[in-house]
């Protein structure tokens, strides 16, 4: 399903454990502001998780909390957090607060392949002066570069859950 513009509405099927199955919801492409807001919320959550990890790491190492092993653990925590949330629910806690969701072209939660590609392309897109996310304004389908490469869409859910 090709998405032409922000004004084009999609009928997407979402199933919730608490709500009726196959509930019809209208969605449109989420703007960059909502995406950044959700990212900020998620970073606060990740910061709390990382602080707990460092509290556990300090007694184990018995020295200052630094080094490549800790950095690797923190990066893996973030990757697992996003992968789990996107594959299981299609959204993170921050995305839920901003009423946005990650979906594949069929309007369903992304596959493992979609998520792995997205996780590998999102950091370079952000670190290269955000060019991968500014692609959102150039792309006809209004996808950021990680969205395009992973064949996913970030949509704003119009209806109440």
pLDDT (tens digit per residue) in 103-157: 998 889 999 999 999 999 999 988 888 888 888 888 888 899 999 999 999 999 9
Q: Do residues 56 and 84 make contact, with C-beta atoms less than 8 angstroms apart? A: no
Q: Do residues 142 and 136 make contact, with C-beta atoms less than 8 angstroms apart? A: yes
Kind of pairing, strands 10-14 and 23-29?
antiparallel
Give the orientation angle of helix 32-61 with respect to helix 68-88, to 10 degrees: 140
User: Three-state DSSP class for 144?
Assistant: coil
pLDDT, tens digit, 9 for 90 and up, residues 13-50: 433 322 222 345 567 999 989 999 999 999 999 999 99
End-to-end Cα distance, the chain: 23
pLDDT, tens digit, 9 for 90 and up, residues 49-60: 999 998 887 776
């Amino acid at each position: 399903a090709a998405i032409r513009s922000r004004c084009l509405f999609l009928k997407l099927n979402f199933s919730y454990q608490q709500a009726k199955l196959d509930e019809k919801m209208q969605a449109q492409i989420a703007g960059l502001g909502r995406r950044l807001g959700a990212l900020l919320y998620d970073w606060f959550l990740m910061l709390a998780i990382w602080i707990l990890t460092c509290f556990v790491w300090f007694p184990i190492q018995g020295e200052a909390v630094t080094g490549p092993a800790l950095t690797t653990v923190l990066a893996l925590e973030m990757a697992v957090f996003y992968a789990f949330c996107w594959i299981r629910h299609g959204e993170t806690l921050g995305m839920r607060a901003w009423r946005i969701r990650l979906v594949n072209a069929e309007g369903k939660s992304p596959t493992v392949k979609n998520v792995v590609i997205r996780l590998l392309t999102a950091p370079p897109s952000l670190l290269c002066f955000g060019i991968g996310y500014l692609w959102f304004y150039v792309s006809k389908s209004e996808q950021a570069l990680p969205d395009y490469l992973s064949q996913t869409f970030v949509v704003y859910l119009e209806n109440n859950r």
